[in-house]
A and B are shown apart, each in its own frame.
Chain A
Amino acid sequence: MNTDHHDTFQRMIDESLAGVILAEKEQSLREHLSTCARCKEYLSASNRVIAGLSGFSFEVNPTLNARVLAALRLHAEQGRGILARDAGTMRQHGVRFKNWAAFALALSMSFAGSALVYQVATRLAVPMYFDNAQVQAGVLVFWLLPSFCSALWLLAAPGENRGIA
């Protein structure tokens, strides 16, 4: 048999050991190995390399596991702390935003409502014998100031809903 022929089968042995050989090649290799001492020797040497690789046993530092586990617990704890803090900050930011939004809405409704009430009041002023100054004072005292105070109260709500307080 020529060298190329052995090379082909020895390549198949490598493929077989690596786990990538095709089934039909494997069969042909098996048949060849039953008659070829040279390739059998090649396979035997390869198997001893593989067996040798399994003959190493590394010492693991006995404190390593404890050290790793302590580090993991610490990091997990810190991670939870950071998450909780972030969640708290986000929640607080959410409350502030809602309060400011409510304030803005109440303020705009306060002015829009006052304008509307002023229009209605001026129409009623003539049949009810009020002058313009009395209408303006009425709208200011009975509509604009209460609604503006309500808007401010929303912003300065106590406890968890507190915005600017």
Chain B
Amino acid sequence: MESDTQRIALGLRQRDVAVLETLVEQYQYRLVRYLVSLLGRRDGVDDFVQETWLRVLERGGSYDGHSRFEPWLFRVARNIALDAMRKRPTFSLDSKEEDGVRSSPASGEPSPYTLAARTQDAERLAHSLQTLEPVYREALVLRFQEELSLQEISAIVGAPVSTVASRIYRGLATLRPQFEGDTA
């Protein structure tokens, strides 16, 4: 893995477009999925995706290749999304939580989770996920969809590991009642 990440780091330092093309192909879907979980909406995500890759091109030299690429990529995406939220209050993620992430409900349009649900369990979760505090949703997605470690998530969200863990517990606690007492 080290050699892969080192190769990516070298390519980014050299602003090698071929390396970036490979990364786009490899990580695009996961980037979209992460941004949807962060924003709680689908519209506008494509712009953030493009901006994220351009930022990767510009600041790729700061990726050292000693750790996995995707946490670094998600951190870049998160910073871009949060900056945009702060500049555009109508698209705000203001939060009661300490790091300021809260989705604004999409007006009248179906939730991205409802549209994206492909299994019965996912359909049952769709509404709760949409209304879940974004910091919990983000922690759950990074842990269970992206399969990142708590340390990696901690580096992305800029919060201590213990905070990340409690977000995961609280997120699970919010969603779990959907399946409790269910023998299916």
From residue 1 to 60 of chain A, which have CB atoms closer than 8 A to chain B?
11, 14-15, 17-20, 41-42, 44-46, 48-60
Provide the main secondary structure of the chain A interface: helix
What are 9 A-to-B residue pairs whose CB atoms are below 8 Å? A18-B165, A52-B178, A54-B144, A58-B32, A59-B116, A60-B29, A71-B50, A72-B53, A76-B57
Let me know if A52 and B50 touch, CB within 8 A.
no
From residue 106 to 123 of chain B, which have CB atoms closer than 8 A to chain A?
112-113, 115-123
Flag whether B172 is at the interface (Cβ < 8 A). Answer: yes
Let me know if B169 and A56 touch, CB within 8 A.
no
Other than the known A20-B161, A55-B123, A57-B118, what 13 A-B pairs have Cβ atoms closer than 8 Å? A11-B169, A17-B168, A45-B177, A49-B175, A51-B121, A52-B121, A56-B113, A56-B118, A58-B112, A64-B32, A64-B46, A71-B53, A72-B57
Contact residues in B for A48 (Cβ distance below 8 Å): 121, 178-179, 182
A50 to chain B, nearest CB (A): 5
A105 to chain B, nearest CB (A): 40
B127 to chain A, nearest CB (A): 12
Number of A residues whose C-beta is below 8 Å from B?
A: 38
Flag whether B87 is at the interface (Cβ < 8 A). Answer: no
B80 to chain A, nearest CB (A): 14
Tally of A-B Cβ pairs under 8 angstroms:
132
Contact residues in A for B25 (Cβ distance below 8 Å): 65
Let me know if A58 and B145 touch, CB within 8 A.
no
Let me know if B168 and A14 touch, CB within 8 A.
yes
Q: Measuring CB to CB, which residues of chain A are less than 8 angstroms from any residue of chain B?
A: 11, 14-15, 17-20, 41-42, 44-46, 48-61, 64-65, 67-69, 71-73, 75-76, 79-80
A159 to chain B, nearest CB (A): 32
On whether A52 and B119 interact (CB within 8 A), knowing A18-B165, A72-B53, the answer reads: yes
Docked CA distance A72–B58 (Å): 10
Docked CA distance A91–B156 (Å): 41
Let me know if B50 and A68 touch, CB within 8 A.
yes
Docked CA distance A14–B179 (Å): 16
Let me know if A67 and B50 touch, CB within 8 A.
yes
Residue of A whose beta carbon sits closest to that of B52 = A68
Let me know if A55 and B140 touch, CB within 8 A.
no
Contact residues in A for B97 (Cβ distance below 8 Å): none
Flag whether B33 is at the interface (Cβ < 8 A). Answer: yes
Flag whether B13 is at the interface (Cβ < 8 A). Answer: no
